[in-house]
Amino acid sequence: MSNKGKYYITTAIAYASGKPHIGNTYEAILADSIARYKKAEGYDVYLQTGTDEHGQKIQEKAEAIGVTPKEYVDDVAAEIKRIWDLVGTSYDRFIRTTDEDHERCVKKIFKKLYDKGDIYKGAYEGLYCTPCESFWTESQLVDGKCPDCGREVKPAKEEAYFFKMSKYADRLIDYINEHPEFIQPVSRKNEMMNNFLIPGLQDLCVSRTSFSWGIPVDFDPKHVVYVWLDALTNYITGIGYDPDGSTEQFNKLWPADLHLIGKDIVRFHTIYWPIFLMALDVPLPKQVFGHPWLLQGGDKMSKSKGNVIYADDMVDLFGLDATRYFVLHEMPYENDGIITWDLVIERYNSELANVLGNLVNRTISMSNKYFDGVVKSTGVKEDVDDDLKATVTATIGKIGKKMENLRVADSITEVFALFRRCNKYIDETEPWNLAKDEAKKDRLAEVLYNLVESITIGASLLHPFLPTTAEKIVDQLNTDIRDFDDCDKFGLYANGNKVTDAPQILFARLDAKEIMPKIDALKEAQKKEFIEEQKRLGIEVEQNDGTEEDDAIDLEIRPEIGIDDFGKLQFAVGEIVACEAVEKSKKLLCSQVKIGNQTKQIVSGIRKYYSPEEMVGKKVMVLVNLKPAKLAGILSEGMLLCAEDANGELSLMVPEKKMPSGAEIC
């Protein structure tokens, strides 16, 4: 295959605060599949990933458990790397922001920008969000909360260095307008332009003095370089950038062809990062793609409720490629994807076992049964063959168009459409009936040849996404993964070749009754681990035995109301986007609830039954037109609906089916 040039792809570097769940791991798998696809197309691919290891949160976590920040991040980075390796990420460098070459270069970058006048010393007084490590002005807050995470912000003041963002804002706006492919999907571009760039950029704080776990500013060592200037520059430091003279590798690979990141950090990668590069006189990356999130049953994952799904648990239960298949195929292009254990089992059985595994096993078994495994084209063709061949040879082109726009899920769908066409071809040709007639033996041989050839092409196209499975398939067919250049040609399978005489089941059907007890055990282990972790941090966690009260309750009916009275009440589905405990109250939680295009603050007396972490991401039933009132001095603009049992236990009322926020309840 001809070399099409370089292709440099990066993931966001994972924050080294804990073990990554499957939603975090999805990005590494996605990047790997794109990298493998580009290699198959003939590109010289370089994939970089790694860990972001500095900042206040990590320093506080390390202090809480009595280790140094470096000891803490060493353990976490090793775990992240283990997970990335487990899911088959074919990275070329796993960079850590504690790597010596990175730290040395960041110091030089900071000094260069300071000498240029783009960084200046001042004092910051504003509103600070510790989880996001971000300063905000009053006008940037959303309902008085951090616009990124919805949590509380606190007044803070400290000496700091600032970067002159506004100096480059107009230049960046022009660049984005002139390069519509730069920010993808388009919805992310519109958000950045309308919410940040057009209203105007304020100068950015790029150093801190209130904590020490960071890269020191070498000419003012009481300051450490603030997280984003440190973390974002990994994309160039990791391949040899140096303000004093970059390496040959950097000159070859930069600009990056693709930054693959989560939708929550698009702003940093499409505003801060391009402006830093402009100031350094370095070309901008060609494209930034902000992928959606993978949610557990519509909720964000939380250890406290035992619903976190980890990649290593999925691999243990279902295998590597089943894990890769699910996260790659079930994630929409723009909207958040849903993962549940039930859905994983269903997709495993219906797609991997039935469509693919059964096809390969049947084809090899029939080849052995009727021809001792020898696959031979006899030239005895029928019209039905033409449609099969047309479908198979057209698939590479269809995938190419999908992958140009990074539509990985759609590309996998095209490959499985090929396999489905093969299954239909078996039904159309009925090899078992052909085998009954000796006069049709050559026709039977041709049918099986067509199937083996089609599966070979399908496995070759599947290889970037499910590499282990694809290699198992071609091994059993006694052939090799085919070059993409040859995947639009039919008939290259060696005539007279012999398939394996002992076909292996690629994906044995799963019995949910056998799998679910293992999953329940994982959930319980998670809850136990969460409780023990909270205890180590000195946080008391209420526990219950997990049993449910099934006895009916004698409900006292209140006086009847008319339909007009009921019509005054307006109920809707809301999504909890942020939640925190109310200080000086043991009962109250304060939630930010998104209802359609507005967000309401609702105070609820449910702290005994739900943690703030547990609340975030839930879809709930809301009384939206309740007159605002203050509870514990905090304004509440609605009511969350709950059910209460005989013991006074509360349960939030949630939609049975997936519903959008703002959907009216009637």
**Percentage of the chain surpassing pLDDT 70?**
92
660, 573 contact by CB (below 8 A): yes
Model pLDDT, residue 6: 98
Model pLDDT, residue 206: 95
Question: Quick check: 247 pLDDT over 70?
Answer: yes
75, 171 contact by CB (below 8 A): no
Residue bearing tokens 């799904």:
309
For residue 549, name the pLDDT band (cuts at 50, 70, 90): very low
Model pLDDT, residue 2: 65
Q: Treating both helix axes as pointing N-terminal to C-terminal, what angle do 383-404 and 441-462 enclose, rounded to 10 degrees? A: 0
57, 131 contact by CB (below 8 A): yes
Model pLDDT, residue 307: 78
Residues 9-47 pLDDT 10s: 999 999 999 999 998 999 999 999 999 999 999 999 999
Mean pLDDT of 499-511: 95
Q: Which residue has the higher pLDDT, 1 or 477?
A: 477
Residues 213-225 pLDDT 10s: 999 999 999 999 9
Model pLDDT, residue 545: 43
| 340-498 maps to CATH 1.10.730.10 | yes
Model pLDDT, residue 544: 46
For residue 554, name the pLDDT band (cuts at 50, 70, 90): very low
Model pLDDT, residue 541: 56
Model pLDDT, residue 539: 61
Residues 446-459 pLDDT 10s: 999 999 999 999 99
10, 35 contact by CB (below 8 A): no
State which amino acid sits at residue 659: M
Model pLDDT, residue 108: 98
Question: Quick check: 146 pLDDT over 70?
Answer: yes
Mean pLDDT of 308-324: 96
CA–CA gap between residue 499 and residue 477 (Å, rounded) = 5
Token output for 383: 């019209």
Mean pLDDT of 651-659: 82
Return the ∠ at Cα 374 (arms to 372 and 375), rounded to 5°.
135
CA–CA gap between residue 347 and residue 507 (Å, rounded) = 11
Residues 563-620 pLDDT 10s: 666 777 888 999 897 788 887 677 888 898 888 878 888 999 898 788 787 788 889 9
For the chain, give the mean pLDDT.
90
Region(s) of the chain under CATH 3.40.50.620: 6-305
Question: Which CATH superfamily does the domain covering 6-305 fall into?
Answer: HUPs (3.40.50.620)
Residues 150-162 pLDDT 10s: 888 989 888 999 9
Question: Quick check: 318 pLDDT over 70?
Answer: yes
Question: Quick check: 548 pLDDT over 50?
Answer: no
Residues 373-421 pLDDT 10s: 999 999 999 999 999 999 999 999 999 999 999 999 999 999 999 999 9
For residue 304, name the pLDDT band (cuts at 50, 70, 90): low
Region(s) of the chain under CATH 1.10.730.10: 340-498
Model pLDDT, residue 125: 80
Question: Quick check: 268 pLDDT over 60?
Answer: yes
Question: Quick check: 434 pLDDT over 90?
Answer: yes
32-35 own/partner pairs: CB under 8 Å, 24+ apart:
32/87, 32/88, 32/89, 32/90, 32/91, 33/324, 33/328, 33/408, 33/464, 33/465, 34/9, 34/258, 34/260, 34/403, 34/406, 34/408, 34/464, 35/7, 35/9, 35/90
Region(s) of the chain under CATH 2.40.50.140: 563-665
Question: Quick check: 298 pLDDT over 70?
Answer: no
SS3 145: strand
CA dihedral 406, 412, 417, 423 (to 10 degrees): 170
Mean pLDDT of 460-478: 98
CA distances from residue 263 to 176, 188, 381 in whole angstroms, order as listed: 17, 8, 51
CA–CA gap between residue 501 and residue 475 (Å, rounded) = 12
Q: Any idea which fold 563-665 has?
A: OB fold (Dihydrolipoamide Acetyltransferase, E2P) (2.40.50)
- How are beta strands 589-595 and 571-581 bridged, if at all? antiparallel
> Quick one: which of 202, 201, 209 has its CA closest to 225?
209
Q: Which residues pair with 129 in a beta bridge?
A: 134
Q: Which residue has the higher pLDDT, 426 or 542?
A: 426
